[in-house]
Amino acid sequence: MWLILTALAAIITTVLWYVKAPDDKYKLGLLSWTFWGATIMWLVDHFWAFAEEGGEFFETDLNSTMLGISVILVALLIWLVVLLISDPKGIFKKLFHN
């Protein structure tokens, strides 16, 4: 399930990035690449495990779903930290220079 969730997050962030392109003021490109990197990594992992062990290609149990949600939340947290450091609207600059 984490492959499905990260692929969905990658598609959504790519569409959002494309709508806002070429101005990547909010670093949506970084978030999109993060999700695509995770999606490709897990796709290769799924193919490899399926080729060696067989069984299910997509795991849809609760643990897999929670892992997918956790990965998305961690990626969003990292993106938020990068966004706050870059301060695209200059809020912190105005706040600390007054």
Q: Is the bond leading into 22 cis (omega within 30 degrees of zero)?
A: yes
Q: Rounded mean pLDDT of 22-27? A: 87
Round to whole Å and give the CA distance between 50 and 62: 20
Helix (H, G, I), strand (E, B) or coil at 23: coil
pLDDT band at 11 (very low <50, low <70, confident <90, very high): very high
Answer whether residue 97 shows pLDDT above 80. Answer: no
**Taking the model in full, what pTM does it have?**
0.85
Q: Is the Cβ–Cβ distance between 3 and 42 less than 8 Å?
A: yes
Q: How far is CA 30 from the centre of its chain?
A: 9
